[in-house]
Amino acid sequence: MSRLLVVQNHRGGGPGRFGDWLRADGVSTDVVHAYAGAPLPRRPGHDGVLVLGGGYLPDDDVRAPWLAPTRALVARAVERGVPVFGICLGGQLLARVAGGTVRGEHGEPEMGSTPLMLRPEAGDDPLFRGLPERVTAVEHHVDAVTALPPGATWLMASERCPYQAFRVGERAWGVQFHPEAGADRVRSWDAGRLRARGLDPVELSRRAELDEPAAEAVWREVARRFAAVVAGS
């Protein structure tokens, strides 16, 4: 069985259904609770690396001192061709490591189920090829990638945040959205904080529930494809 190292960056941010799907496709997940002080390996000894989201910028080393070893781990994985998948903060961290730029509180925040558009460059991508031209995913971010790394392949965009998905090299992917999260995650968000941003928590939940069947099928397929990449490493 292939083994995937999962870096968890906050208490409530586990691999969710994405981890379930990977395990169903023969990839075991070793979750490191980095936010709680669990040590990270100095070198990638697994068949792949998954870095999850969290409320930090990728170089926020004062508040999150484990991010420095996480960046080093991802850099070594990319250098050695070990498959990488970065979600939200994890995607931003991949962009930062590979030479892109990330800015805090940039543009308009995206919260809830968000329409995404597949770009033509995704036509031959191992994970994103053949996906629907329009799909949704759960988003919860105020920071964003503002410039892709040199040579990166731009795969998906949204109206408010252009760099929703990209690939570095042949086997490292970053996404701004949360394929591991469904409508249940949206329902768990703090209603008071959402209202403070001018958002209706009931409407956000309703929209996510309506979008979930089609979105879940798409992200399940992406997980299956990533599992195949990890298994073939």
Question: What gap in Å lies between CA 41 and CA 116, rounded to an integer?
Answer: 34
Q: Could you say which of 46, 140, 161, 180 is catalytic?
A: 180
- Give start and end residues of each alpha helix (H) in 84-200: 89-97, 183-187, 191-196
Give CA–CA dist 118/155, Å, rounded: 6
First to last CA, the chain: 12
Per the rule left: phi > 0, alpha: psi between -120 and 50, beta: everything else, 113 is beta
Q: Is 178 a catalytic residue?
A: yes
Query: Which one of 10, 108, 178, 216 is the catalytic residue?
Result: 178
**Contact residues for 196 (Cβ-Cβ < 8 A; gap 6+):** none
| Of 10, 46, 88, 139, catalytic | 88
Rounded Cα distance, 132 and 156, in Å:
11
- Radius of gyration, alpha carbons of the chain: 16
State which H helix or E strand residue 12 sits in: none
Task: Identify whether 180 is a catalytic site residue.
Answer: yes
Closest CA to 112 of 156, 177, 19: 177
Catalytic residue numbers, as ranges: 88, 178, 180
